[in-house]
């Protein structure tokens, strides 16, 4: 009988080396986005490819396979946490092994060609230039799905990579409920006589004061600057090299201080999750989120539910007046609150407000499932896109750059990624309903800028579990109910009935 504890120790050790390489890759990517001189790109590409190859080889080698094969059959000899680490590693390994290396290479090559063509196609708004590459990415993704295996739809095999256990069949009724009620809400908002005047926002906002304010809010949220830092980048992101080194970036809009604020708070929400992952399992796959949807729930909780609340602006208006002398003397907390929550159906997903955001996701979900299931072809995408934009958002798409070419995901072959954004919204509202029951003083703590109780609640119910449980289990255990769209719809309908009343009333 082998000594399972010593085999487990070997696995733990080996995973540590592999995760070190993954984090080194992340560090090199962070450097590429934040500091690297432009001419470093060529060598950086080679360095990243070399390390990624090394990581893949170590993770799928004979030693790893034999350790996992032995341990997965004897989890009764391990603690529940140890068994979870074996289970999660086995899951990743099975996925890694199922796809032949030839397909991995083909996919990577096609991805980089598709990306280059997408950049040009978007710049010139020329879908036909991207169309053959979209077709290739769809074909390769379908091939990938066949290797991975699925029960109902090949789309499920792809979605599973981002949201374990989720399927197109489970998503459809959720998205139908969202589409119906959110479209109706957007129509009611458009008819409200109370459209906010946000012209006061269009001023020059000192950039270092903006950064300073973002850092103060991050500190108040509980983001540990001793275990992280904030920099500037074109696209804001969060990256992790360890639970004690979680970095974020933001971007500054000199004419709209709310833009950097929401980026910083959003990434700060992701970063708080990463800083709160189980430290005992650092350097292993367990110190990670079980799904992108759950990760996104943390960023959206802080960005939208807290950072776009009225108590939040009541708290921070005096400080904003100090940082931007003379610029906010006339503005009230209500003005800030209404400006941060203005609703306007628009063409671009990343600029969308809370009421319309999911509609952008649902449109993409419907198109990408049809592509992967083979009921439409790449050439049909622009027409379908524009028709759905009209139905869901009532807007006319002027060109493909502002339509089906706006996102990078399909050029990357990331089919199944979009739904996680909407799921993040749903999870965040469901967690909030429960947190408000558990913390009766919820909005008072926000108005005091004292977020430690909220953070502790999230640490206890979400962060500390890492991948010990999947996202549905985490939601169920935290709230007593399975994931549902109802709390999010309730949250939206209540909040926006006050912001956009049909009849005169005070906000
Ligand atoms: Zn995010």
| Candidate list 117, 267, 303, 354, residue with the active-site label | 267
Report how far residue 270's alpha carbon sits from residue 246's, in angstroms, rounded to the nearest whole number. Answer: 9
**pLDDT tens per residue, range 45-60:** 889 888 988 999 999 9
Please give the distance, rounded to the nearest whole angstrom, from the Cα atom of residue 296 to the centre of ligand 1: 5
Q: How far is the CA of 299 from the centre of ligand 1 (A)?
A: 6
**Mean pLDDT within 413-438:** 98
Question: What does the pLDDT look like over 233-255, one tens digit per residue?
Answer: 888 999 999 999 999 999 999 99
Alpha-carbon distance values, 413 to 112, 467, 470 (Å): 10, 25, 24
Distance of alpha carbon 330 from alpha carbon 312, whole angstroms: 18
Average pLDDT of the segment spanning 10-22: 97
Centre of ligand 1 to C-alpha 66, Å, is: 37
HEC secondary structure over 427-451: HHHHHHHHHHHHCCCHHHHHHCCCC
Q: How many angstroms does the Cα of residue 330 sit away from the middle of ligand 1?
A: 33
- Residues 330-346 have pLDDT tens digits of 999 999 999 999 999 99
pLDDT at 63 over 60: yes
pLDDT of residue 506: 55
Band the pLDDT of 187: cuts 50, 70, 90: very high
pLDDT at 2: 85
Residue 465 pLDDT more than 70? yes
Sheet holding 245-250, edge to edge: 230-232, 245-250, 238-242
In 160-251, which ranges are continuous DSSP H helix? 168-191, 207-221
Phi, psi at 301, each rounded to 5°: -55, -50
For 149-179, the pLDDT digits (tens) are 999 999 999 999 999 999 999 999 999 999 9
* Spacing, Cα 261 to ligand 1 middle (Å): 14
How confident is the model at residue 41, as a pLDDT? 86
Q: Is the pLDDT of residue 507 over 80?
A: no
Confidence of residue 505 (pLDDT cuts 50, 70, 90): low
pLDDT bin (cut points 50, 70, 90) of residue 301 is very high
Distance 96 CA to ligand 1 centre (A): 25
Residue pair 244/294 in contact (Cβ under 8 Å)? The answer is: no
Residue 189's closest CA among 356, 420, 73, 305?
356
pLDDT of residue 503 exceeding 80: no
Task: Tell me the CA–centroid distance for residue 193 and ligand 1, in Å.
Answer: 33
Q: What percent of the chain has pLDDT over 90?
A: 91
10 Å CB burial of residue 325 (0-12, 13-18, 19+) is exposed
User: Band of the pLDDT at 80, cuts 50, 70, 90?
Assistant: very high
Q: Would residue 267 show up in a list of annotated catalytic residues for this protein?
A: yes
Residue 144 burial (C-beta neighbours within 10 Å; 0-12, 13-18, 19+):
buried
21-41 confidence digits (pLDDT tens): 999 999 999 998 899 998 998
Average pLDDT over residues 6-32: 96
> For residue 201, how far is its CA from the centre of ligand 1 (angstroms)?
25
Asked whether residue 7 carries a pLDDT value surpassing 90, the answer given is yes
Q: Which pLDDT score is estimated for 504?
A: 64
In Å, what is the CA distance from 131 to each residue of 122, 290, 362?
Answer: 12, 33, 22
107-122 core/surface letters (b: 16 or more CB in 10 A; e: else): beebbeebeebbeebb
Query: Has residue 449 got a pLDDT over 80?
Result: yes
Distance between Cα 294 and ligand 1 center (Å): 10
Planar angle of CA 32, 37, 42, nearest 5 degrees:
70
Residue 366 has pLDDT above 60, yes or no: yes
pLDDT at position 38: 87
SS3 state of residue 416: coil
Strand, helix or coil for residue 158: helix
User: What's CA 58's distance to the chain center, in Å?
Assistant: 28
Rounded Cα gap, residues 239 and 246, in angstroms: 6
3-state secondary structure of 277: coil
pLDDT at 232: 93
Rounded to an integer, the average pLDDT of 366-389 is 98
How far apart are the CA of 420 and the centre of ligand 1, in A? 10
Write down the pLDDT at residue 235. Answer: 86
| pLDDT(215) > 60 | yes
- Residue reference for tokens 């032995």: 70
Q: pTM of the prediction?
A: 0.95
Distance from the alpha carbon of residue 100 to the mean position of ligand 1, in angstroms = 31
């Amino acid at each position: 009988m082998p000594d399972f504890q010593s085999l487990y120790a070997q696995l733990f050790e080996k995973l540590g080396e592999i995760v070190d390489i993954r984090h080194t890759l992340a560090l090199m990517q962070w450097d590429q986005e934040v500091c690297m001189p432009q001419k470093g790109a060529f060598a950086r590409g080679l360095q990243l490819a070399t390390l990624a190859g090394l990581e893949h080889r170590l993770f799928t080698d004979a030693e790893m396979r034999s350790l996992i094969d032995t341990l997965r059959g004897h989890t009764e000899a391990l603690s529940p946490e140890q068994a979870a680490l074996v289970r999660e590693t086995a899951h990743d390994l099975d996925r890694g092994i199922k796809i032949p290396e030839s397909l991995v290479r083909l996919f990577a090559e096609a991805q980089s060609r598709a990306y280059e063509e997408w950049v040009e196609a978007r710049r010139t708004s020329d879908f036909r230039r991207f169309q053959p590459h979209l077709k290739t990415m769809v074909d390769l993704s379908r091939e990938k799905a066949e290797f991975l295996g699925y029960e109902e739809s090949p789309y499920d095999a792809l979605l599973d990579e981002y949201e374990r256990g989720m399927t197109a069949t489970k998503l459809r009724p959720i998205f139908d409920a969202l589409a119906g009620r959110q479209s109706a809400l957007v129509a009611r908002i458009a008819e409200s006589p109370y459209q906010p005047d946000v012209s006061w926002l269009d001023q020059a906002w000192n950039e270092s004061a903006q950064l300073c304010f973002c850092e103060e809010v991050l500190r108040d949220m509980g983001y540990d600057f001793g275990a992280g830092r904030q920099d500037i980048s074109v696209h804001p992101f969060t990256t992790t090299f360890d639970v004690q080194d979680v970095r974020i970036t933001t971007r500054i809009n000199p004419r709209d201080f709310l833009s950097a604020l929401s980026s910083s708070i959003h990434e700060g929400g992701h970063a708080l999750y990463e800083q709160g992952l189980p430290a005992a399992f650092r350097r292993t796959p367990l110190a990670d989120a079980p799904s992108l949807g759950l990760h996104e729930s943390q960023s959206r909780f802080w960005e939208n539910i807290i950072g776009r609340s009225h108590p939040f602006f009541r708290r921070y208006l005096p400080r904003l007046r100090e940082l931007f002398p003379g610029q906010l003397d006339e503005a009230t907390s209500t003005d800030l609150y209404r400006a941060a929550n203005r609703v306007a159906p628009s063409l671009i997903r990343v600029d969308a407000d809370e009421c319309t955001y999911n509609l952008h996701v649902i449109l993409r979900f419907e198109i990408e499932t049809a592509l992967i299931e083979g009921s439409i072809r790449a050439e049909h995408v622009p027409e379908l896109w524009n028709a759905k934009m009209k139905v869901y958002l009532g807007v006319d798409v002027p060109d493909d750059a502002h339509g089906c070419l706006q996102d990078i995901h399909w050029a990357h072959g990331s089919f199944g990624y979009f739904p996680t954004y909407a799921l993040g919204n749903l999870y965040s509202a469901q967690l909030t309903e429960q947190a408000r029951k558990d913390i009766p003083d919820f909005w008072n703590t926000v108005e005091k800028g004292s977020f430690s109780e909220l953070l502790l609640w999230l640490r206890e119910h979400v962060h500390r579990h890492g991948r010990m449980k999947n996202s549905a289990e985490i939601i169920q255990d935290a709230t007593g109910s399975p994931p549902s769209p109802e709390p999010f719809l309730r949250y939206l309908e209540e909040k926006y009935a006050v912001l956009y009343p049909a009849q005169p009333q005070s906000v």
